[in-house]
Structure 1
């Protein structure tokens, strides 16, 4: 595990991105957002872009850009595939920034959540249609970028972002540079969840959007029509003990498409206390003639495997690009990694002192460039962490650490319930 001692604020959201320097050279980067809140805490509210480079033993790092957002705290952040666009959620409002060698430059702002109380966006995802058509076979859609948002009001919203001009310059109007221009408009408001949306994910083809919710379900949405394509009852298949008097409500905190299988979905669900379970699903797509215009799609979805993955509620989920590893972060700050298929645990890191607030695998290329460090986690304990997801030794290391800690506690005559 590698923890860069560089974050000086509580991290509420963290994602992989890309950074480009003034010479045009790009490098893997991490976007971290959070802060101390609007009060006089003495802790700033920031969005930081941290650039990484591979090293002999571990990556080196440096802050590429940093944006002070006080008095507001950014609770959620997302980056486009090429790192040129950044979406940041400040309560119910989402601001979109251009990211270039001179920093972050705000392009647009939209209201994206309308809950009557504690309104706020909880998850966002980009899809750049420059990388392919909606069905994976047609021509690109002419540079349209999609942004999906979900939050406290339980509504998935899909936005189209049209770039009128993108420059590598600062966008400050200096001679030879033209400020970037971006138009944003909502194309779908997808209603169906009964509680807040906790996670949104695009299928790589752009044909489907996947959401998770505190109502204990995931839903698939037809991205073309904005209609519901399937309901995934994530509480099905769980043991009877999953819902108890102490944890009566099962919530789905995170979900994702499997990167290596076109018909696989993973969701992670748990109650307010107790075990967390991952469900693996398979789905098939068929035309939906009942949709307006007869152009929609519907999905048949079936659960194929339910696995216990954490003794504590889970906060996040990610699957590696080759489909060989699945990672879960939990409320105890632990990151657990499983081998797929089969769900054999290969790693368990007590990485953080507070709940994991963000988790994600990098692409295979980024992992190779960083010497195998391909898994990212963040927490409000002022830390981000990088892990290698390949070998099996870290499980033994984590087990030995827990055993040693128990012996020390016994020697001292003190017994502490711990998740280490």
Structure 2
């Protein structure tokens, strides 16, 4: 056989393999080439020359440019799905060029096409900019983990077939090789998914999708604690159900009688108006029981931790708050009390509000923690009432950092900026975490530091008290989260598994689990007793900054740096729906006490209220065409003048507290 014929046969064979290439096939081909080279050295040279040209730097630029042009010229119905393929191909082309030593060509390639991906992946691109040599691919954690794992992309059957047809028709071996080696397609039947679903269909870096699926099959107990105060109150209320039924029968009889009177010559207009008024009062009234209160339907589980004993007087106070709780919903939005920090000179890093709103804490870059007692400064604060168009009243209070104007308690002890603060459920303690790698416990009664907890090796980004107090969780730049108790200076559990910083932590309602959000774009759920990861939630496109748990313990919301909020079903590990609306970082999330509303606070200077009762279950495959059929509804947006929202906290009576710092740069 002529040399040219052998070369063409080898090329045709490699092209024919396409996506079906295996290690065994490659080995067999290598053996054929090896035997041919022994008989004719010229053939070996030709094949080597072909391989070098195939892997040359120009092939990446040319192949990606053609794939990009074809994708952007595709039909709109399939274009947004095909565009998902471009970003992983882009970064792997760049890293392959660097790995082969073509540093200059890699920089040219990167700068030529980076603008296409800056909107969705700016943070990743900024990391990749630092790769200047092959050694950086191994030293940089992001690049190393990206090259070690495949990208998971959901795509419909027809889009997948269009892509295959293009790659085979154009004989783009370089692009075909990257896609085959680096992308794991999850092909689904039916129509393409909508653009708004992109947040949950592409997973670039994080845990292996197969490993996540295996972990998410573990059983979890998402219900509420047995014999909780809420359960006791429900049982006590149940004793009155018979009398309530009797009262309902009487009301029904009265309505029938009024109806008869109106037919007999009464004034139907007044009667109808009164009924509508009664209905409105019943929907928004203080004592009405919401039909969307899911806590009463949640299963009860036993605690895995030894719970602290609640003093009798405190128990009575909490039950009284629960009795007087306002039932919120789409027709009854919460009142909002907003605390604004002024004159902080960009020194405020975090804020926290006690459950009753009487104490407000701020953590500062000068290593200080300051706590304001609102009962003492309420008369000094400038208060203005702003009534929304249809809803909540926002009371705004100003907090100054100048002790001549506003009284506060100063807590000093940290040796670095304070990044997080949290009050105990009763407000008698406050925890703070700092860049000095420590967590400190302060007494608001004694105004003193009680304990310094050391265990983390790097800055501690977040710390949160458990719903019952005594226990708390912290997370750090060292990629771990830790469980502590107030009476021990060493952690009880260490949760390790995230690939990057653990930026936020939140307790489950039954205290048996904690959730952690990380810069690796994943949220993990950990069993407090065993320290094992029992859920991995994949779908965010940027670092997770906030987490909130629903009161019944079934759902979790997480907010990221891009402004996206995702609602998760803990039992299945699936995303119920993404919430789009914020234009900047979502710094704080909070569920209302009965679980019907979700409040979100952002750096875009707004508080948004979402109706979470509109999405009781994860979306089905047949719903993908509709896209927004199962999407949560945004009820109201409450803008501030120029105050990014740092923290949100619902009181036990369902008053929403919020805090932020006045910003002149917004």
Query: In which range does the TM-score fall when normalised by the shorter chain?
Result: 0.5 to 0.7
**Which stretch of the first structure deviates more once superposed, 79-88 or 332-341?**
332-341
- Relative to structure 1, the CA distance from residue 111 to residue 354 in structure 2 (aligned partners, 3 Å threshold; closer, same or farther) is farther
Q: Determine if the alignment matches structure 1 residue 15 to structure 2 residue 352.
A: yes
- TM-aligned CA distance change 1:254 to 1:70, over 3 Å: closer
Tell me if the contact between 2:568 and 2:576 (Cα under 8 Å) persists in the aligned partners: yes
C-alpha deviations, 1:312-362, integer Å up to 9, x for none? Answer: 332222222222222222233332222323433333233264643x22222
Task: From 350, 363, 373, give the equivalent of 1:50.
Answer: 373
Residue 133 of structure 1 corresponds to none
Confirm or deny that 1:121 pairs with 2:403.
no
* 2:547 paired residue number: 255
Q: 1:348 to 1:128 in 2, by over 3 A?
A: closer
1:112 Cα deviation after fit: 4.1
Identify the residue that residue 376 of structure 1 maps to in structure 2.
658
State whether residues 49 and 66 of structure 1, in contact with CA within 8 Å, keep that contact through their aligned partners in structure 2.
no
* DSSP-derived class of the 2:499 partner: coil
Partners of 1:78 and 1:87 within 8 A in 2: yes
Is this contact kept in 2: 1:14–1:30, CA < 8 A?
no
For residue 82 of structure 1, give the secondary structure of its aligned residue in structure 2.
Answer: coil
Residues 367-419 of structure 1, C-alpha deviations (whole Å, 9 max, x = no match): 2xxxxxx231223749xxxxxxxxxxxxxxxxxxxxxxxxxxxxxxxxxxx98
Deviation at 1:15, TM superposition (A): 1.7
Q: Say if 2:503 and 2:545, in contact at 8 Å, map to a contact too.
A: yes
Q: Which has the higher strand share?
A: 1
SS at match of 2:546: strand
| 1:366–1:49 CA distance, 2 compared to 1 (3 A) | farther
1:329 to 598, 601, 617: 601
Q: In angstroms, what is the RMSD of aligned CA positions? A: 3.1
Cα distance in 2 for partners of 1:29, 1:7 equals: 19
How many residues were matched structurally? 290
Q: Which residue, 515, 521, 540 being the options, matches 1:210?
A: 515
Q: What corresponds to 2:633 in structure 1?
A: 344
Preserved contact between residue 161 and residue 185 of structure 1 (Cα < 8 Å): no
Work out which of the residue numbers 266, 281, 295 in structure 1 matches 2:568. Answer: 281
Q: Distance in 1 between matches of 2:371 and 2:439?
A: 17
Describe the SS at the equivalent of 2:653: helix
* Structure 1 residues 131-150: aligned runs within 5 Å: 145-150=470-475
- Is residue 253–residue 268 contact of structure 1 (8 Å, CA) maintained in 2? yes
Q: Call closer, same or farther: CA 1:73–1:7 in 2, change over 3 Å.
A: farther
Q: Is the 8 A contact 2:459 2:477 kept in 1?
A: yes
* TM norm structure 2: 0.40
Q: Distance in 2 between matches of 1:160 and 1:206?
A: 13
User: Match for residue 307 of structure 1?
Assistant: 579
SS of 1:186 mapped into structure 2: coil
- Closer, same or farther in 2 for the Cα pair 1:314/1:184, shift >3 Å? same
More helix by share: 2
Q: What secondary structure, in the 3-state scheme, does the structure 2 residue paired with 1:341 have?
A: helix
Q: 1:211 to 1:28 in 2, by over 3 A?
A: same
1:167 — aligned with what? Answer: none
**What are the within-5 Å matches in structure 2 for residues 96-115 of structure 1?**
96-100=441-445, 103-114=446-457
| Pick aligned residue for 1:161 from 486, 493, 508 | 486
8 A contact 2:565–2:586 mirrored in 1: no
Tell me, yes or no, if the aligned pair for 1:35 and 1:73 is still in contact at 8 Å. yes
SS at match of 2:489: strand
Q: Does 1:362 align with 2:647?
A: no
TM-score (norm 1): 0.61
* Gaps in structure 2 of 5+ consecutive residues: 1-335, 386-394, 399-405, 615-631
The structure with the larger Rg is 2
Q: Write out aligned runs for 1:207-246 (5 A).
A: 207-235=512-540
